[in-house]
Structure 1
Amino acid sequence: MPAPSFPQHPGKHDHASLLRPDAVIARFLDDDSLVRPAAIIMGYAGVLVPLLEARGFARHVGYPSPWRAMWLRDGDDRVGVVEGFGFGAPGAAIVFEELVALGATRFVNLGYAGALADDVTFGDLVLCTKALRDEGVSHHYAAPARYADASSRLRAALASTLRRRDHAFVEGANWTIDALYRETREEAEAYRDEGVLTVDMEASALFVIAQTYGVEVAALFVVSDHLLGAETWKITHDWSRVHEGLATALDVAIETLTR
């Protein structure tokens, strides 16, 4: 019996996919009237909706694929926003690939993250440099590796915008795991001691898929909870600071992608 591997089938990375995103969104590809933003913000928090409405974005249903929606500004096709597609790497990967098929080339992954480091607290902005590949999706696109890197150019552009706005932030590594209820203290402490600042559920998968397609993606997190807080997981009691952080992160992403 051969030793188990992941993916289970040998040589998978050299084989073509049976289902491709361009086939799923085929009905859009010949529509010249359709707005196809080159830059996309991917969001996960429900509170994004009023923030987008306040910034002049409107929701377009059935786009980028028949069962999804995109937020666009009237008369400004530079940036689109997608949200409400759930949490975790598998769902994010599907949306990401559909958007790449539509022609998007620059992405900012925007969402909440849990803190591992003691000096990162609720509402802080964390610009991800690389993500530990502890989810399953990325391994179907590329051979195993410990980390996946964010786009250095796009990450630098986000950092530049944050500095120009004189907004505090930290840069560092992230742990991506898609099993929310299987995060253990032992691994969290080990990754913290390795220098990992935060934990999320999508980033490393998107970083690997972006490299596969030759597009750019960076991740900007707002800390909403602390995985190693006191004796157990601790969530913020001051959501106003977290929501303010998310609003700032959204503005930073929009400014960076439209500059």
Structure 2
Amino acid sequence: MWKYPDDNTRAVITAKEHIQSGHNPQNLCLPQTAVLFYMHSGEEYLRQNYPTHLLCEKLPRFLRGCPVYQFDLDNHFCFLDGGGGAPQAVDTLETLAALGVKTVVTVGMFGAFGENVNSGDIIIPNKAFVEEGTSLHYYDFIEYSVPSPSLYQRAVKEITSAKSLPIVSTDAVYRQTFWKEHLWREKGAVGVDMETSALFSVGSFLGVDVVSVLIASDKHPLREEDPAWAWTMTQETRHQFFEQVLQFVRRL
């Protein structure tokens, strides 16, 4: 763990200070709800199929800013690329919180390794085991993190095709060994991504409501003798998934 109980000093730089620095746009006003995409083509799909407009060309996060768009049919939410991996995901979340965002729905993919989960299945994680390093700078100790209870309950109720199951988030793409995935299954986890546990933990730390809606992009072999890993996500599956999440967000 890298958060020390006796450390009472302030951060050298905060998201608010970074936003107010000279090379960032001023007076950016965002809706209180944001949708963060952690998978390819999410923002593109909304912009091509619905009326939207550009709110800002570059979100003033620390790591590689991105465009922020607003959905015109229900202009209470904005949407953007959430980044890649826990550090950039939390950079985005800290920045949005500093800009007044109160509710975040994250949309992404996970690799399935659970016996009861297959490619294309949608889950709303009820917990995410922490195997990424970012959360460890916010908490003295944390084994797993959870979504906002009220937002999670609403998502489970309204996205009826989704399963409610745990996942694990890791920084090491190429160290998801068969042994580790066996241990993860014993904990009850059914899949792995790179961001969700950090988004849950830091959302709670900041007082931002966060829920994740994820789709299984592929099914990992459960044993070393099983057929090798293969990518199975299709464009049609992506688009159907985006529509389900969009209808949920529009009702918030």
The two structures share one fold, judged by TM-score above 0.5: yes
1:228 aligns with 2:226: no
**Map 1:186-225 → 2, pairs under 5 A:** 186-225=179-218
Q: Deviations over 1:1-45 (max 9, x none)?
A: xxxxx21x74366432111000111267962xx431101111022
Following superposition, the deviation at residue 232 of structure 1 comes to 6.2
Following superposition, the deviation at residue 189 of structure 1 comes to 1.0
Following superposition, the deviation at residue 114 of structure 1 comes to 0.8
Tell me the TM-score normalised to structure 1 length: 0.85
Q: Indicate the percent of aligned positions where both proteins have the same amino acid.
A: 22
Structure 1 stretches lacking a partner, 5+ long: 1-5
Amino acid aligned to 1:24: H
Q: Deviations over 1:78-113 (max 9, x none)?
A: 111111x54100011101100000000111111011
Per the alignment, residue 55 of structure 1 pairs with 50
Per the alignment, residue 66 of structure 2 pairs with 68
Please identify, of 34-43 and 225-234, the stretch whose mean Cα deviation from structure 2 is larger: 225-234
**Map 1:1-259 → 2, pairs under 5 A:** 6-7=1-2, 10-11=4-5, 14-26=8-20, 31=27, 34-53=28-47, 54-65=49-60, 67-74=65-72, 76-83=74-81, 86-163=83-160, 168-229=161-222, 231=226, 234-237=229-232, 239-240=234-235, 242-256=237-251, 259=252
CA contact (8 A) 1:122 1:241 kept: no
SS for the counterpart of 1:235 is: coil
* Counterpart-to-counterpart distance in 2, 1:232 and 1:144: 38
* Counterpart-to-counterpart distance in 1, 2:101 and 2:206: 11
Amino acid aligned to 2:210: V
* Counterpart-to-counterpart distance in 2, 1:59 and 1:232: 45
CA contact (8 A) 2:5 2:140 kept: no
Aligned residues: 244
Tell me the TM-score normalised to structure 2 length: 0.87
After superposition, the CA RMSD in angstroms is 2.4
Please identify, of 50-59 and 137-146, the stretch whose mean Cα deviation from structure 2 is larger: 50-59
